[in-house]
């Protein structure tokens, strides 16, 4: 079973699907992310495709290392996501050939379904109460929202009060009907993280995500000491078990959030097992497309310490520049029900491979040259702000 082609397809709203074929007629799919660096990702995929031509597709672990380490220079999200997409496709091909879902090759499933949560509020959070009400009607019991928009190093009292008011409105309206997760999105600088965490503790949120931007992991234990009962979650921009090992050794984190389209499928499984030794949960990051979600669910279904999972149904990123709907999670699936949450949960995909069937003709038909621009957020004085 030799690799004969690695072919990316860019489809709306902002997804990069990767089809891998083998000389015995096998076909597998993966998904890359980092859409704001689309051309760089496509270039990395082209390089990997040339290097893997004729490689033994059964040797997935070897090929993952070869893709990440074989060019002397290594690291970075562009190479990581290109590698992850190819690796997901290799697992899809292999498991399909064996006639089993991938989770059977990871020790078998440990659950029948996986609770999932839904986004509300958008990048600059608005109308969060109405968004949460809509999600409750869809069957979700957990929602996540960005805590704030641009936030300066030393923000005003009004900025802090706006964050508190949003969360208070949700708690006042829904009480304990709804669990709330907050994403600081790396937008909050160290000087503002502590006062925000102190103010938010009263609302008993599920977690605060990315309380600081990547590169400040050594500061997380200090934040944890003032966070009280608020859990700290992070990891969506980390790339491998080595990155997560540093995070675990440093401490201060309660929930890991690895993304299968940066780590790869088997690496995500290894991260979950490593976290298990620290008695920590993994809630996989996945505001991505259907292939990424299917790959991540294969791992989640085989790991005891994955209590819930992210998914992108109705996500604000599924719109074009004019705000019009541009694509939805089930659009490219032959059977969309496989990735349609019911009562806030997804059933473990049981079909061979990643457990989904892409409509290849539709993928080809909808292939497009979409672009995702940098947000270029600014503070009032013109300085760049964290997005």
Which residues are the active-site residues?
185, 285
Q: Which two tokens stand for residue 1?
A: 């079973």
Give the whole-angstrom CA distance, residue 198 versus residue 223: 10
Show Cβ contacts of residue 256 under 8 Å, excluding neighbours closer than 6 positions. 233, 234, 235, 244, 247, 271, 275, 280, 281, 282, 283
Give the whole-angstrom CA distance, residue 279 versus residue 272: 10
* Helices within the chain (DSSP H only): 38-52, 60-69, 77-98, 128-137, 157-174, 190-200, 220-227, 241-250, 260-263, 265-277, 290-300, 360-365
DSSP-based three-state secondary structure for 28? strand
Give the whole-angstrom CA distance, residue 120 versus residue 21: 38
Half-sphere exposure of 374 (CA within 13 A, CB side): 7
DSSP string for residues in 36-63: GGHHHHHHHHHHHHHHHTT-BTT-HHHH
Q: In what order do the strands lie in the sheet with 15-22?
A: 3-11, 15-22, 27-32
Q: Residue 157 in contact with residue 184, Cβ under 8 Å?
A: no
How deeply is 216 buried, as exposed, middle or buried, from its count of CB atoms within 10 A (0-12, 13-18, 19+)? middle
Show Cβ contacts of residue 73 under 8 Å, excluding neighbours closer than 6 positions. none
Give the whole-angstrom CA distance, residue 12 versus residue 370: 7
């Amino acid at each position: 079973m030799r690799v004969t082609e690695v072919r990316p397809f860019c489809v709306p709203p902002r997804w990069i699907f990767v089809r891998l074929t083998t000389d015995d007629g096998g076909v597998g799919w993966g998904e890359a992310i980092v859409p704001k660096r689309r051309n760089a990702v496509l270039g990395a995929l082209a390089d990997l495709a040339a290097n893997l031509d004729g490689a033994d597709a059964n040797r997935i672990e070897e090929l993952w290392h070869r893709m990440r380490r074989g060019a002397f220079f290594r690291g970075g999200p562009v190479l990581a996501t290109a590698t992850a997409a190819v690796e997901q496709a290799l697992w899809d091909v292999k498991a399909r050939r064996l006639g089993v879902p991938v989770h059977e090759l990871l020790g078998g499933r440990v659950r029948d379904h996986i609770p999932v949560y839904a986004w509300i509020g958008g990048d600059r959070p608005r109308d969060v109460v109405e968004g949460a009400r809509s999600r409750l009607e869809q069957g979700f019991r957990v929602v996540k929202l960005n805590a704030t928009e641009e936030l300066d190093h030393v923000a005003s009292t009004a900025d802090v009060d706006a964050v508190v008011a949003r969360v208070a409105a949700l708690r006042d309206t829904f009480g304990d009907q709804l669990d709330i997760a907050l994403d600081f999105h790396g937008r909050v600088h160290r000087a503002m993280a502590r006062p925000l965490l102190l103010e938010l503790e009263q609302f008993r949120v599920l977690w605060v995500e990315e309380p600081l931007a990547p590169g400040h992991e050594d500061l997380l234990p200090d934040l944890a000491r003032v966070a009280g009962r608020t859990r700290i979650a992070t990891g969506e921009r980390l790339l491998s078990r080595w990155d997560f090992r540093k995070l675990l050794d440093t401490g201060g984190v309660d929930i890991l959030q690895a993304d299968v389209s940066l780590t790869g499928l088997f690496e995500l499984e290894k991260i979950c097992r490593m976290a298990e030794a620290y008695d920590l949960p993994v809630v996989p990051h996945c505001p991505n497309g259907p292939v990424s979600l299917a790959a991540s669910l294969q791992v989640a279904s085989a790991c005891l310490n994955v209590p819930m999972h992210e998914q992108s149904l109705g996500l604000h990123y599924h719109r074009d520049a004019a705000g019009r709907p541009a694509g939805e999670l089930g659009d490219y699936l032959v059977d969309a029900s496989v990735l349609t949450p019911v009562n806030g949960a997804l059933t473990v995909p049981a079909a061979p491979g990643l457990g989904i069937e892409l409509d290849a003709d539709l993928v080809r038909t909808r292939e497009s040259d979409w672009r995702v621009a940098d947000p270029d957020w600014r503070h009032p004085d013109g300085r760049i702000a964290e997005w």
